[in-house]
Amino acid sequence: MSAAGRLVGLGVRGFRRTPVAWQNPLAVVGIAVAGAWLLVALFAPVIAPHDPLAPTAALYQAPSWAHPFGTDDVGRDVLSRVLWGARVSIPLALLLVGLAYTIGCTLGGLAGYLGGWVDELIMRGADLFFAVPQILLAMAVVGALGPGLFHAVLAVVVVSWPGPARVVRGLVRTTMQSDFVAVARLVGAPTSRALTVEVLPNVAGPVTVLAALDMGNAILLLSALSFLGLGARPPDAEWGSMVSTGAQHFESWWMGMFPGLAIVSVVLAFNLIGDSLRDTFDPTTTVTPLGK
């Protein structure tokens, strides 16, 4: 078989391996919307019609053809600010989910693999974080460090690692006890091989699902902190902080409405992806493809 044929063959196999995610139309919508926002984040300077930070028109203009989302209390174009806001929320959410999952998976993996007092220490530590609402802890962290976007990101990382840690620990433990790992060890596979070949693939799927769902949660939590004045501050073009400014100008509803809709659309997109991925990966819910 030619190299190209092999590539196509691989492509087809890869395609078949994730059938439900593709045959579920809502997952495709989620991927499309999330992809669109990713493009907006990349190309905001090109596609935004106006400067997000400089006044470009009269104050408090209702939505019109010139300014589809209206203008705000300083005369800035709300559409441009919403588009630029994607450059704040999406990269930061990726960053903090990456950080939280690195920490969480490492600690959870160690707890599950080593067991004993390490397990006990890490998981009881994680319990503490589950007992207190995330936003309260995050507020306390930002309160201690001082308000600011970077501190808000740190705070969300600090409160987000226990979720993946708990899941990874459970998965590692059940996989390690499974027969196929026992067989692999029995035929002489070293620990490192048993971990990478047998355990890792069984952990990776569910963790991907969780990470997609947590992207949405991360954006929500980060924008909530900014709304409370603990994260991004005006004049930054950040969605939560824009909603907060909009809250002080009820008669100009467009100031807070559109940044909020931006949050809803991007979070919903990630949740749609995560929800259909869960249907695919979760062995306990059998999903019949093609809507049967």
Would you count residue 117 as binding another protein (CB under 8 A)? Answer: no
- If one asks whether residue 168 binds another protein (CB under 8 A), the answer comes out as no
**Residue 32 interacts with another protein (CB under 8 A): yes or no:** no
Which of 74, 137, 189, 200 forms a contact with another protein (CB under 8 A)?
137
Asked whether 130 and 162 are in contact (CB, 8 A), the reply is yes
Name the one range near another protein by CB under 8 A: 9-17, 41-49, 87-95, 245-253: 245-253
Q: Which residues contact 161 (CB under 8 A, 6 or more apart)?
A: 100, 101, 103, 104, 107, 126, 129
Give me the least distance between CB of 64 and another protein, in Å please. Answer: 20
Q: Select from 88-96, 172-180, 203-211, 250-258 the region that touches another protein (CB under 8 A).
A: 250-258
Among 31, 74, 99, 135, binds another protein (CB under 8 A): 135
For residue 270, the one-letter residue type is F
In whole angstroms, what is the distance from residue 168 CA to residue 95 CA? 20
What type of residue sits at position 98? Answer: G
Distance CA 61, CA 253 (A): 11
Distance CA 95, CA 112 (A): 25
Residue 292 to residue 290: CA distance in whole angstroms: 6
Q: Which residues contact 139 (CB under 8 A, 6 or more apart)?
A: 155, 225, 228, 230
- Give me the helices (H) in the chain, please: 3-17, 19-23, 25-47, 78-114, 116-131, 134-145, 149-160, 162-176, 179-186, 191-193, 200-227, 239-247, 254-281
Question: Which residue in the set 85, 104, 109, 216 belongs to the binding site for another protein (CB under 8 A)?
Answer: 216
97 makes contact with another protein (CB under 8 A): no
Among 5, 14, 116, 146, binds another protein (CB under 8 A): 146
| Nearer of residues 168 and 199 to another protein, judged by Cβ | 168
Span near another protein by CB under 8 A; candidates 35-43, 87-95, 99-107, 136-144:
136-144
Shortest spacing between CB 144 and another protein, in angstroms: 5
d(CA 93, CA 32): 18
Window contacting another protein (CB under 8 A); options: 70-78, 172-180, 201-209, 278-286: 278-286
* Residue 186 in the binding site for another protein (CB under 8 A): no
Q: Work out whether 240 is an interface residue with another protein (CB under 8 A).
A: yes
State phi, psi for 33 to the nearest 5 degrees: -65, -45
Nearer to another protein (CB atom), residue 80 or residue 217 = 217
Q: Which residues bind another protein (CB under 8 A)?
A: 25-26, 124-125, 127-128, 130-137, 139-146, 216, 220, 223-224, 227-230, 240, 243-244, 246-247, 250, 253, 256-257, 260, 263-264, 267-268, 271-272, 275, 284-286, 288, 291-292
